[in-house]
Chain A
Amino acid sequence: GQSLEQPSEVTAVEGAIVQINCTYQTSGFYGLSWYQQHDGGAPTFLSYNALDGLEETGRFSSFLSRSDSYGYLLLQELQMKDSASYFCAVRGEYNQGGKLIFGQGTELSVKP
């Protein structure tokens, strides 16, 4: 089967840096994605890693280590609007179309 683990909640202060970890178990691996969801809203895509290393998109970066089945999302210069839930996700088996398996989500609270 496939499963992902991430911390349930993280708290940080405005302007700080926070890292949200994700470990996964999959029989086949096709990359790790990250989505952001504000309370009551729709998830939106943040980043995707297929290969080892760091991908940077503005204040957000995402890292992957396939040998460790581990990735993280790094948020820099935190702003109050970054308070949201963050989900890591892996693709299902290749014959299952674009199916995504999501982690339980990490609720990030940014304090003044």
Chain B
Amino acid sequence: DGGITQSPKYLFRKEGQNVTLSCEQNLNHDAMYWYRQDPGQGLRLIYYSQIVNDFQKGDIAEGYSVSREKKESFPLTVTSAQKNPTAFYLCASSISVTGVFETQYFGPGTRLLVL
């Protein structure tokens, strides 16, 4: 089955620790995205990537880093510089960025909690 997987489902971070959230897709999509969602809030874009080995900052990139070494993978690292990391993190992908409209397909999310 095609889709987007995220792991782990829950992640606990200690103070000063970097943690990495995994996102994998087998939809053969070019574009991938990371969003952060806080309780009762909309989705805010952290980073996005239009093609392998290229990515751009979203609206709230500070304290986060990403890589895109393979088309199917777009891991997100929450660094110690992110002082308020507790949130629900959603990864998404879309076919390409050349069209005016592209549906985004979301993974099940990772809930990050600070110990």
Residues in chain A within 8 A of chain B (CB atoms): 8, 30-31, 33, 40-45, 48, 50, 87, 91, 96-105, 107
Contact = CB atoms under 8 A, between A and B. Distances in A.
Given A42-B107, A43-B43, A102-B43, A97 B31 contact: yes
A interface, over-half SS: loop
A44 B106 contact: yes
Nearest to A45: B103
Interface residues of B, number: 28
Contacts, number: 69
B58 A99 contact: yes
Contacts of A31: 100-101
B42 A103 contact: yes
Interface in B32-55: 33, 35, 40-45, 48, 50
